[in-house]
C-alpha cells in the first residue's frame, strides 16, 4: 500500500509497504496506534508508546484556531481508511499531495513559560 512516512527532522516520503502489522511496526519502531485527527478518511499511525519511550518530537497537530492539540513523537505514517474501517489502504494521489504539503516542514519544540513553542526547522 502507498503511505506517507513522516520522520523527525525530515520531509515526508511516499513509500510502498506491505499491509502487514509487522511492516507497520517496523516503520514506527514498536506497537502501532492509529489516530484519526483529519476530516478525510486518513489514519495517522504512530508508535503507541512514542511519548513514554522518549522518542523525538516530530510534528504538531493543530486545531483550526492554530493551537497545538497534540505532538506526535517518533516516526509516523499516513494511510487511507476505507468506509468499512476494517483495514488500512493506500492514500489517494490527492491525499498524498495534501499531506506532503501539511507536513513538509519539520518542526522543533521546547517549553517556554509553561507553553510549548513550535518552530519550523529549516533543512536542505
pLDDT at res. 81: 95
Mean pLDDT by 10 residues, the chain (124 residues): 98 96 97 95 97 96 92 98 88 98 96 89 82
Domain chopping of the chain, boundaries: 2-120
Strands in 76-80's sheet, in edge-to-edge order, are 13-16, 2-6, 76-80, 42-47, 32-35
Q: What is the pLDDT of residue 109?
A: 94
Task: Please tell me the predicted confidence (pLDDT) of residue 121.
Answer: 92
What's the pLDDT at 115?
84
Q: What is the pTM of this model?
A: 0.94
Amino acid at each position: 500500500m502507498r503511505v506517507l512516512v513522516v520522520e523527525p527532522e525530515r520531509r515526508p516520503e511516499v513509500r510502498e509497504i506491505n499491509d502487514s502489522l509487522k511492516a507497520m511496526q517496523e516503520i514506527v519502531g514498536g506497537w502501532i496506534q492509529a489516530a484519526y485527527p483529519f476530516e478525510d478518511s486518513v489514519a495517522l499511525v504512530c508508535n503507541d508508546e512514542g511519548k513514554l519511550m522518549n522518542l523525538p518530537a516530530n510534528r504538531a497537530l493543530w486545531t483550526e484556531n492554530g493551537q497545538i492539540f497534540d505532538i506526535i513523537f517518533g516516526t509516523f505514517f499516513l494511510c487511507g481508511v476505507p468506509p468499512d474501517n476494517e483495514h488500512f489502504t493506500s492514500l489517494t494521489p490527492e491525499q498524498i499531495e495534501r499531506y506532503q504539503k501539511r507536513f513538509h516542514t519539520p518542526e522543533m519544540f521546547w517549553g517556554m513559560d509553561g507553553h510549548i513553542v513550535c518552530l519550523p526547522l529549516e533543512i536542505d
